Structure 1
Amino acid sequence: MRQQHACWPALRAAFPYTTPILAGFVFLGFAYGVYMNVMGFPFYYPFLLALVIFGGSLEFVAVSMLLSPFAPLATFLLALLIQARHLFYGLSLFDTYRGLGWKRFFLIYGLCDETFSIIFSAKRRLPEGVDRGWFMLWITWLDEAYWVFSALLGGLVGGALPFDTAGLGFVMTAMFVVIFIEQWLNECHHATAVLGLVAAGSCLAVFGAQSFMIPAMLVILSALLLGRRPLERYYLPESDQAGGRETR
């Protein structure tokens, strides 16, 4: 009997984890496609931007960039500022993506807020017998596919249907709240979660809603680097501390 390729069990295991992302991306991706159509762009623009940029909020900002005078340096700096949080995501997944060969290239390219949340919460309770690399790759592929094809659908429908995008942004906020609660319930210790809440809340109060993200990430990164050893003793079992291995 021919042995089943490892990618198919990984797909069956990964898909249920991505269903909350599907629910959020269908609405927001569709709204993004409609928004670009209303702004005068043909249907393939939201599809191509979603496929190439895959940056969520950056894609919405890119609409105004495309309609503005050519300013590559300002565009680069603004894009870097908006997406700088991915630097921290990448650092935190450095060991998780180690040793995955060709898969890690798309894992790095396709990393977004939602994919990071799923991989971070699922990597410690990976279903038995499922290939870790294929599992994470399917999560990344599925999440991007939800966004890209929802944007394409919105671009195709465009102005044919009356569609009010007001309030849809809360869909993603609600999804992140649910993911945070799930991680909180599944973790025995909550030091890092409390650190994130305190850092974000403090920086929000000091810098305001438009500028708190990067200071908050710097505070969190500094605290994690300075407190790495105590946190490892706090979170990891003694066997993993002795071997220096990551708990998966």
Structure 2
Amino acid sequence: MRNFSSEKGKALKAAFPRTIPVMTGYIFLGMAFGILLHAKGWGVGWALLMSLFIYAGSMQYVATSLLASAFNPIAAFIMTLMVNARHLFYGLSMLDNFKGTGKLKTYLIFGLTDETFSVLCAAEPPGNVSRPWYMFWITFLDQLYWVVGSVVGSLLGSVVSFNTKGLDFVLTALFVVIFVGQWKETDNHIPAMIGVAVTLLCRIIFGGSSFLIPAMAGILLCLSLAKKKMPRREAL
């Protein structure tokens, strides 16, 4: 039991520094969500439960409007599928990474957000650290930041009025920070260049409102074709 606890402790210590950029973004984005949810008439309990069991970032923002509208499960299902369809490609990309994770696999799948996906793809645990527990702590800490931000935002929204215009730009800034960090840490920049090139091409072809899913499919296809020519860590 002592060795097992030590294994988890080492993984937590190694994982925490990797999640700091996500913490910076998730705390503020979570707070914005909590404030917005409270403004719609839903209290802190709803903020906590939604962040624990939905934990879908942008979909939680959309859900604040769905909660305020007439009940329409079909429309809610279609909207959720459209907003979160990119996670299908995330899951396919993480098939190899999640092998051998045992009982932790279910939670790793549930907690795979955009930012967590980016960190897991770039971060490799030290040689003496359990990879499954390392990935678990990254995923768990990221969700913890979001939950804390949501609850704090809801509580603040009950006592202070906020103008949240432009606050969601924190998410864009967070993606830039993660991208730059990955670029500096790797010698092979082919995956990053593929991602940028395919995304720009799809943006031009499909337009700003419809390019995301084609871009993710194109990136997955290109990386799959280039995988044999890249080191394992870079290929994902």
| Shared fold per TM-score greater than 0.5 | yes
Match among 216, 230, 233 for residue 235 of structure 1? 230
Q: Which amino acid aligns with 1:132?
A: R
How far apart, in 2, do the equivalents of 1:168 and 1:234 lie?
41
**Alignment match, 1:188:** 187
Structure 1 residue 90 corresponds to structure 2 residue 91 = yes
Structure 1 residue 23 corresponds to structure 2 residue 24 = yes
1:36-65 CA deviation, whole Å, 9 max, x = no partner?
Answer: 111111221111111111000000000111
How far apart, in 2, do the equivalents of 1:19 and 1:140 lie?
12
How far apart, in 2, do the equivalents of 1:221 and 1:247 lie?
10
Q: Which amino acid aligns with 1:88?
A: F
User: By how many angstroms is 1:171 displaced?
Assistant: 1.3
**Structure 2 residue runs without a partner (length 5+):** none
How far apart, in 2, do the equivalents of 1:224 and 1:235 lie?
9
Count of aligned positions: 234
Q: Indicate the larger mover: 81-90 or 205-214.
A: 205-214
Measured at CA, do residues 246 and 25 of structure 1 come closer, stay the same or move farther in structure 2, by a change above 3 Å?
closer
Measured at CA, do residues 185 and 234 of structure 1 come closer, stay the same or move farther in structure 2, by a change above 3 Å?
farther
How far apart, in 2, do the equivalents of 1:192 and 1:246 lie?
7
User: Equivalent residue of 1:5, what SS?
Assistant: helix
User: By how many angstroms is 1:247 displaced?
Assistant: 8.7
**Alignment match, 1:99:** 100
1:186-240 CA deviation, whole Å, 9 max, x = no partner?
Answer: 2222222111111111121222222210111122223334x2xxx234212xxx7
Q: Is the CA contact (8 Å cut-off) linking 1:42 and 1:155 kept in structure 2?
A: yes
How far apart, in 2, do the equivalents of 1:92 and 1:183 lie?
17
Q: Which amino acid aligns with 1:188?
A: D
Q: Is the CA contact (8 Å cut-off) linking 1:95 and 1:246 kept in structure 2?
A: no
How far apart, in 1, do the equivalents of 2:212 and 2:159 lie?
37
How far apart, in 2, do the equivalents of 1:92 and 1:218 lie?
11
How far apart, in 2, do the equivalents of 1:110 and 1:232 lie?
25
Q: Which amino acid aligns with 2:209?
A: Q
How far apart, in 2, do the equivalents of 1:91 and 1:247 lie?
13
**Alignment match, 1:53:** 54
**Alignment match, 1:75:** 76
Q: Is the CA contact (8 Å cut-off) linking 2:11 and 2:129 kept in structure 1?
A: yes
Q: Bigger radius of gyration, 1 or 2?
A: 1
Structure 1 residue 172 corresponds to structure 2 residue 171 = yes
Measured at CA, do residues 133 and 13 of structure 1 come closer, stay the same or move farther in structure 2, by a change above 3 Å?
same
Give 1:117-156 correspondences, 5 Å limit.
117-123=118-124, 126-156=125-155
Q: Tell me the percent identity.
A: 43
**Alignment match, 1:13:** 14
User: By how many angstroms is 1:32 displaced?
Assistant: 0.6
TM-score, length of structure 1 as denominator length:
0.88
Q: Is the CA contact (8 Å cut-off) linking 2:39 and 2:157 kept in structure 1?
A: yes
**Alignment match, 1:109:** 110
User: Equivalent residue of 1:90, what SS?
Assistant: helix
User: By how many angstroms is 1:78 displaced?
Assistant: 0.9
Q: Is the CA contact (8 Å cut-off) linking 2:188 and 2:234 kept in structure 1?
A: no
Give 1:203-242 correspondences, 5 Å limit.
203-225=202-224, 227=225, 231-236=226-231
User: By how many angstroms is 1:128 displaced?
Assistant: 2.8
**Structure 1 residue runs without a partner (length 5+):** none
Q: Indicate the larger mover: 35-44 or 154-163.
A: 154-163
User: By how many angstroms is 1:246 displaced?
Assistant: 9.8
User: By how many angstroms is 1:23 displaced?
Assistant: 0.9
